[in-house]
Structure 1
Amino acid sequence: MKIFEKPIFAFGSAKDQYFLLLKKPSVIGNHYITPKEWLQNSKTVISFFLPFSEAVRKGNKKELFWPSSEWLHGRIEGQIFLNELCSHLKSKLMEEGYDSVVPSLDKRFWTVKFPGSSDHPELSFTSNWSERHVGFICGLGSFGLSKGLIAQKGVAGRIGSIVTELYLSPDDRKYKKIYEYCIMCGKCAKNCPSRAISIENGKDHIACARFLDRTSVRYKPRYGCGKCQVEVPCEFKIPKENC
């Protein structure tokens, strides 16, 4: 089964002031590591989106509660492929003399789920590098109600990034608002099996995480959901009209 379509790339400046804004407690927090902190002489942040194939997306529409086999493989094996792709691109950049870092694969990277479940008990549902926020800053896309990133090829897919010394001309952000590409139709909220999404309150990360834990038991060694990414206007494109 084909997992991904052709990727979309976006380039951001490692010194973009938006990265410093992520350190604000109201955004992510001071624990966030900026590109310059990952790699002192970095010049560019490469962000890319791998859209899920039609087979993966179609499979997850068979029923709107438990994830499909296609989606589970896209989520787990797809992420394995994405990690290998990041490592490959990093090695090619370094072969050309440009020091590079893949933050999500670096030993300094960490992520936290439930409160008190890590070495950072004061934090919950956060990390010191966010692929979605990086994608937003680099011009890849804007956020949606489900907190996914809506790129030119939609919300259904996976995101990766590399911080490098190679200079690449930064892409323009074609949006000014955080949720500019989201039409707030509420379809993702209706699809959510754990009722973790609402137009009024946004996303309940605890409810979402608990449902994912249920899938990890049911489908071990895989887990996933993705119902907020299929049967929605932003599934494979930027929505243009109200649904």
Structure 2
Amino acid sequence: MKMDRDKIKTMVERLYYSTGAEYFFAKPLIGAAAAGDPLFQKFKTAVGDFHWTPQEALEQEFPGVKARTVIAWILPVNEKARRANRSMSDRPALEWARVRSFGEPANEQMRLQAAKVLTTYGYPASAPHLMQRKKGVDFKKLGFASFWSERHAAFAAGLGTFGLSAGLITEAGIAVRIGSIVTALELEPDPRPYGDEPYAWCSRCEECVNRCPVNGVFPDPALRDKKRCYEHLNGPMNQDRHEQYGWLDVELGCGMCQTGVACEAGRP
């Protein structure tokens, strides 16, 4: 089956409904980047040799196949969850935690099924985020980095730029989840209205700096303390977890820097 931009959009939107993602998120924003875009090599240089380019990511599953396109999508968190989380200061509201714990698995299925559909139609595709999960990436060992970044993929696809907290400010705001796949299908890449400027849509209002419960966000984004964030997510925030949320073995998220801020639901 021949695939084009319209069919990709239809596929992603269909998966948004069929996976149940619609119960957690607003409709997806979709973009595409050329797999050979020099930005991906810049990401690798900045993060480390372990960080995959799209070509390296696709070859994890399909050796020798040429990667041509990175398809990325933005899933805006629903208004009810955002509203509930605005009033929180050190741990997520139930509504927000539910999106992270049970909405993200729907996003994982969107990645997995999109890759399977394209592969079935003759365009080998893989979901790098899922592959790195399967590989068992040790974020601490890699300096709280990873083999693949959904945020950077979306940045390359013209979907948004970074904020001081390192979240991605999109047309739908920073309170989002992101998914991406790499494929041999060639599509026309989307333009980046912000060029290659990583913080173009950030107003530097510093509201996220003030919202961080562990003081891990700073006016200078280079100073962001990922270790503090990680320790909070895996330490104090989990106290009395069963009584607070009712489940134990799925990530809760935090979201303080994504809610109650100027860029929560749109570009500031």
TM-score (norm 1): 0.89
User: Which residue in the other structure is 1:193 paired with?
Assistant: 213
Shift, 1:202, TM fit: 3.6
User: Which residue in the other structure is 1:111 paired with?
Assistant: 137
Letter in 2 for 1:227: M
Letter in 2 for 1:137: A
Shift, 1:109, TM fit: 4.6
Which of 162, 167, 180 is matched with 2:186 structurally?
167
Q: How many corresponding residue pairs?
A: 230
Distance 1:234 1:109 in 2: 34
User: Which residue in the other structure is 1:227 paired with?
Assistant: 256
User: Which residue in the other structure is 1:81 paired with?
Assistant: 106
8 Å contact from structure 1 (residues 23, 30) kept in 2: yes
Spell out the pairing of 1:1-243 with structure 2 (5 A cutoff). 2-24=23-45, 27-39=46-58, 40-106=65-131, 109-114=135-140, 121=141, 123-176=142-195, 177-200=197-220, 202-214=223-235, 215-219=237-241, 220-222=248-250, 223-239=252-268
8 Å contact from structure 2 (residues 88, 256) kept in 1: no
Letter in 1 for 2:89: L
Gaps of 5+ in 2: 1-21, 59-64, 242-247
Shift, 1:105, TM fit: 1.3
8 Å contact from structure 2 (residues 67, 183) kept in 1: yes
Gaps of 5+ in 1: 115-120
The 3-state SS of whatever aligns with 1:111 is coil
84-93 vs 4-13, which moves further: 84-93
**Identity across aligned pairs (percent)?**
36
Distance 2:181 2:174 in 1: 20
Letter in 1 for 2:192: R
Cα 1:233–1:10 change in 2 (3 A) is same
Distance 2:87 2:217 in 1: 21
The 3-state SS of whatever aligns with 1:46 is strand
Distance 2:32 2:86 in 1: 33
Q: Which has the higher helix share?
A: 2
Distance 1:202 1:139 in 2: 25
- Measured against aligned partners, the alpha-carbon deviations of 1:129-166 in whole angstroms (never above 9, x if no partner) come to 11111111111110000000111101101011000111
Letter in 1 for 2:253: G
- Measured against aligned partners, the alpha-carbon deviations of 1:67-87 in whole angstroms (never above 9, x if no partner) come to 111111111111100001111
Q: Which has the higher strand share?
A: 1
